[in-house]
């Protein structure tokens, strides 16, 4: 239990947070489906650009690093959550050319030596950093980690207000674990600078009764595509392309729920 604080309102209520372990993260992602959608686009870039080295920032449970490992010579995958890294090491990474490290954008320079052909940052991490200032710093430190002809790929949500409003509830995810059913619902509330994200978790016991519910709320930086383009070019990236959900067509802010930004050093 802890006190929930909302900017300008102060303590409003006591809520219980659900602790999303790496195992739960993996259970709610449905990796075979996600990788099937992303694989052709991402490995297509790796092959086309003859990528030999990849840095994956915010790798989470490191399924992408494992996927990419058969296409390149070496991968460094980092995440500030030691639990994510431990889980990835134990359960996901099978290839010897993947190096896992604990850390994030903030310690990129001291943690990772050398430069890479490709830096990837997948799964809405830039907005999770929380502010435009932090996004800018992340873009700058990413650029420093790229070789001369290197490229970075950032995946994040389309923050166009009409899309956030239309997609404000994600389809509930239902997880069966240890005889219990967990129903996870995600809700977004658009804000000009920060967008609120609520994770609602309902637990049903093995006898079918509602056992508990949790509300995890956090704020992400509202990273609209036009602002992002300005920030990326101010950070020195010479060419930027935006591609829509799944990587199949040019990004359309009135249609796609997420985008890939391809940044060329
Ligand atoms: C939504 S998960 C995405 C994980 C993975 N890349 C994927 O696509 O499934 C967000 C990840 O960002 C990581 N993260 C949070 N703050 C970060 C930071 N400052 N630098 C790098 N990663 C961060 C979290 O630990 C978490 O594993």
Mutate to test the pocket of ligand 1, among 34, 54, 79 (most ligand atoms within 8 A of CB): 79
Judge whether residue 4 has pLDDT over 60.
Answer: no
- Count H helices, E strands: the chain? 9, 13
Q: Mind listing the pLDDT tens digit for each residue in 182-216?
A: 999 999 999 999 999 999 999 999 999 999 999 99
**Of residues 46, 227, 39, 28, the one with CA closest to residue 126:** 227
Residue 12 has pLDDT above 80, yes or no: no
Cβ–Cβ under 8 Å, residues 53 and 81: no
The CATH-assigned architecture of domain 22-157+223-264 is: 3-Layer(aba) Sandwich (3.40)
Quote the ligand 1 centre to 16 CA distance (angstroms).
Answer: 22
Whole-structure pTM value: 0.93
Domain ranges across the chain: 22-157+223-264, 161-221
The residue with greater pLDDT, 14 or 235, is 235
57-85 residue pLDDT tens: 999 999 999 999 999 999 999 999 999 99
Give the pairing type, strands 180-189 and 173-177: antiparallel
Using the mean position of ligand 1's atoms as its centre, give its distance from the Cα of residue 61 in Å: 9
Q: Are 233 and 226 in contact (CB under 8 A)?
A: no
**pLDDT for the residue numbered 10:** 46
Q: How many residues does the chain have?
A: 265
Sheet with 146-157: strands ordered across: 98-102, 74-79, 53-57, 116-121, 146-157, 258-264, 239-244
Burial class for 156, CB neighbours closer than 10 Å (0-12, 13-18, 19+): buried
How far does the centroid of ligand 1 lie from the alpha carbon of residue 130, in Å? 12
Nearest CA to ligand 1 atom 19: 104
Taking 70 as the threshold, does the pLDDT of residue 6 lie above it? no
Give residue 248's pLDDT band: very low, low, confident or very high (50, 70, 90): confident
Closest residue (by CA) to atom 25 of ligand 1?
81
Q: For residue 54, what is the enclosing H or E element?
A: strand 53-57
Banded model confidence at residue 18, pLDDT cuts 50, 70, 90 = confident
The two beta strands, 173-177 and 146-157, are unpaired
How do the residues of the chain divide into helix, strand and coil, expressed in percent and rounded to 5?
Answer: 30, 35, 30
Q: What is the pLDDT of residues 133-175, one digit of tens each?
A: 999 999 999 999 999 999 999 999 999 999 999 999 988 999 9
Mean pLDDT in the chain?
93
pLDDT at 19: 81
Q: What is the pLDDT of residue 66?
A: 98
Residues with CB under 6 A from ligand 1: 57-60, 79-81, 84, 104-106, 122-125, 128-129
Tokens 């056992």 — which residue? 211
State whether CATH 2.20.25.110 applies to domain 161-221.
Answer: yes
Buried b or exposed e, range 173-204, using 16+ CB within 10 angstroms: eeeeeeeeebebebebebbeebbebebbbbbb
């Amino acid at each position: 239990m802890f006190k929930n604080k909302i900017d300008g309102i102060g303590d409003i209520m006591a809520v219980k947070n659900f602790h999303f372990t790496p195992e739960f993260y993996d259970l709610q992602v449905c990796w075979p489906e996600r990788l099937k959608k992303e694989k052709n686009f991402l490995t297509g870039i790796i092959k086309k650009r003859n990528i030999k080295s990849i840095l994956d920032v915010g790798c989470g449970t490191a399924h992408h690093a494992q996927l990419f490992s058969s296409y390149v010579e070496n991968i460094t995958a980092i995440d500030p959550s030691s639990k994510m890294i431990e889980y990835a090491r134990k359960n996901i990474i099978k290839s010897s050319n993947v190096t896992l490290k604990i850390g994030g954008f903030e310690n990129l320079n001291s943690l990772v030596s050398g430069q890479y052909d490709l830096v990837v940052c997948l799964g809405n991490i830039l907005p999770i950093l929380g502010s435009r200032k932090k996004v800018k710093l992340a873009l700058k430190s990413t650029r420093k980690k790229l070789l001369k002809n290197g490229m970075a790929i950032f995946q994040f949500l389309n923050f166009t207000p009409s899309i956030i409003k239309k997609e404000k509830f994600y389809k509930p995810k239902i997880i069966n674990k240890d005889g219990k059913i967990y129903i996870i619902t995600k809700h977004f509330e658009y804000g000009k600078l920060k967008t609120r994200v609520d994770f609602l978790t309902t637990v049903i016991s093995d006898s079918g009764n509602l056992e508990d519910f949790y509300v995890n709320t956090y704020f992400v930086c509202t990273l609209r595509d036009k602002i992002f383009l300005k920030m990326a070019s101010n950070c020195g990236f010479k060419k930027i392309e935006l591609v829509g959900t799944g990587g199949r067509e040019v990004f359309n802010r009135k249609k796609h729920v997420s985008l890939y930004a391809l940044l060329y050093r």
